[in-house]
Amino acid sequence: MKVLFVGAGASGIVGAISYKRNHQKDDVLIIEHLDAPLKKLLATGNGKCNLANTKLDLNKYSHPEFVKDILVEYDYVSFFDSVSVKTKAMGELVYPVSETAVSVRNALIGEAERLGIKINCSEKLLDYKRVNNCIEVITDKDKYVVEKLYLAGSLCSTKNLGSDGSVLSILRNHGYKIKEPLPGLCPIVTKENTKLLDGTRIKSEVSLYQNSNLIHKEKGEVLFKKNGLSGIVIFNVSALIARSQNKANKFVLDLLPEYSETELEKYWQIHSFDGFLQAFLHPTIIKYLKERFSTNEEIFRAVKHLEFTFKEAYGFEFAQVSVGGVDLSMVDARLESVKERNIYLLGELLDIDGPCGGYNLTWAFGSAIRATN
Ligand SMILES: Cc1cc2nc3c(=O)[nH]c(=O)nc-3n(C[C@H](O)[C@H](O)[C@H](O)COP(=O)(O)OP(=O)(O)OC[C@H]3O[C@@H](n4cnc5c(N)ncnc54)[C@H](O)[C@@H]3O)c2cc1C
């Protein structure tokens, strides 16, 4: 065996395809501890697989400069065309035309099979060690001696989809510098009680603060839960809170971003206060505001400035990404380990995360192509 990939997820499969296309004579094996490849991919984009973004803003990644250098070689249109996946943009979000992740999974597995890549499922990496110029890979089923080892085992987000942190533990034992992962892109538990609002959805503008400095502002739909908030805009806020090591812990909702305070004040002057609330807000929100605040002035302020305090993230089981991972100083520009030659680190395993909208799959695929070119 010449080359072994750990993890038949987004970066592992694409990395193996890219490697094999460039080195047709080399034997390539992927080991995957779940019973099937690409299980997480099937869950992406609500089953539709939001695999790229037409307006990718590199500044939204946790380490823009590092990502910029890597993604420069990755063109999602030509890569997916090469595996017979036609993509289309819905707004700025890119999906397969079939609108199902099953097509993407089938295309990637089909291409891997066509190239002669072997995928061993239900086989878990336990450890590896250097033997002369090669690497001995130790799994729960076998031992392999390989020339190159690609680690694509991700971090801790959603254990039932394969991310159990086991590869990170192995790297920790090998002395890699690690930024301890925290759950990102997940709902948030708030200190304030939101039980009354459970199930209510509102379009609002969310501002995130760290020590009273505004660090992020985004419009979107917020879904209230019995102990906190959810929705894409909240997912993005949760990742930024994790990036700040939970120091950015105040966020404020503008419940009526389309109206200025002056406009709303004028309406209140002409109508009664209850008339004003009724004219602009969902009845459940009105009930909540009246329970949480005592005076009309406090309620009026909360309409444009409803403050919440981060208590904790919902946890890795609900997280689309892990924020943190192997420190970027541990790899070079081709994602080869600077500690151990011929070992490469791909995808989420590295300390890179991006917001919702195709950013994380773009990183997984793009990093895989860079490391194998
Ligand atoms: C519900 C959900 C929805 C998402 N939606 C989107 C979206 O629409 N767009 C987007 O860009 N991103 C999305 N993401 C994020 C995206 O799926 C991940 O960023 C991406 O899959 C990471 O790729 P990866 O190859 O690093 O890891 P993964 O895809 O997680 O693959 C890692 C693989 O390694 C295997 N593995 C782990 N440890 C071992 C071991 N010790 N031995 C053998 N195998 C091992 C795992 O089982 C897994 O198959 C979503 C995530 C979730 C959970």
Per-domain residue ranges of the chain? 3-182+324-372, 188-313
Backbone angles phi, psi at 352, to 5 degrees: -135, 130
Instruction: Give the pLDDT score at 129.
Output: 97
**Please, are residues 256 and 267 in contact by the beta-carbon 8 Å criterion?**
no
Q: Is 170 in the pocket of ligand 1 (CB under 6 A)?
A: no
Spans of the chain below 50 pLDDT? none
Nearest residue by C-alpha to atom 31 in ligand 1: 9
- Ligand 1 atom closest to Cα of residue 124: 42
Q: How far is the CA of 12 from the centre of ligand 1 (A)?
A: 10
Q: Is 231 in the pocket of ligand 1 (CB under 6 A)?
A: no
pLDDT tens readout for residues 180-205: 999 999 999 999 999 999 999 999 99
Q: How far is the CA of 258 from the centre of ligand 1 (A)?
A: 37
Instruction: Give the pLDDT score at 365.
Output: 98
Pocket test for ligand 1, best of 5, 51, 361, 372 (most atoms within 8 A of CB): 361
Measured CA to CA, the distance from residue 13 to residue 329 in angstroms comes to 25
Measured CA to CA, the distance from residue 149 to residue 2 in angstroms comes to 9
Q: Is 163 in the pocket of ligand 1 (CB under 6 A)?
A: yes
**Please, are residues 186 and 314 in contact by the beta-carbon 8 Å criterion?**
yes
**Please, are residues 343 and 135 in contact by the beta-carbon 8 Å criterion?**
yes
Which of these, 259, 255, 252, 258, lies nearest to 237 by C-alpha position? 252
The token pair that represents 332 in the structure block: 């070079």
- Ligand 1 atom closest to Cα of residue 360: 11
Identity of the residue numbered 331? V
- Ligand 1 atom closest to Cα of residue 11: 25
Q: How many CA atoms lie within 13 A of 5 on its CB side?
A: 34
Instruction: Give the pLDDT score at 23.
Output: 97
Q: Is 96 in the pocket of ligand 1 (CB under 6 A)?
A: no
Q: Which residue has the tokens 């533990």?
A: 169
According to DSSP, residue 164 is labeled -
Q: How far is the CA of 287 from the centre of ligand 1 (A)?
A: 41
Q: Is 350 in the pocket of ligand 1 (CB under 6 A)?
A: no
Measured CA to CA, the distance from residue 352 to residue 198 in angstroms comes to 33
Instruction: Give the pLDDT score at 367.
Output: 98
Measured CA to CA, the distance from residue 285 to residue 300 in angstroms comes to 12
The DSSP H or E segment spanning 269 is helix 261-270
Measured CA to CA, the distance from residue 320 to residue 355 in angstroms comes to 10
Instruction: Give the pLDDT score at 73.
Output: 84
What CATH number labels 3-182+324-372? 3.50.50.60
Measured CA to CA, the distance from residue 40 to residue 364 in angstroms comes to 12
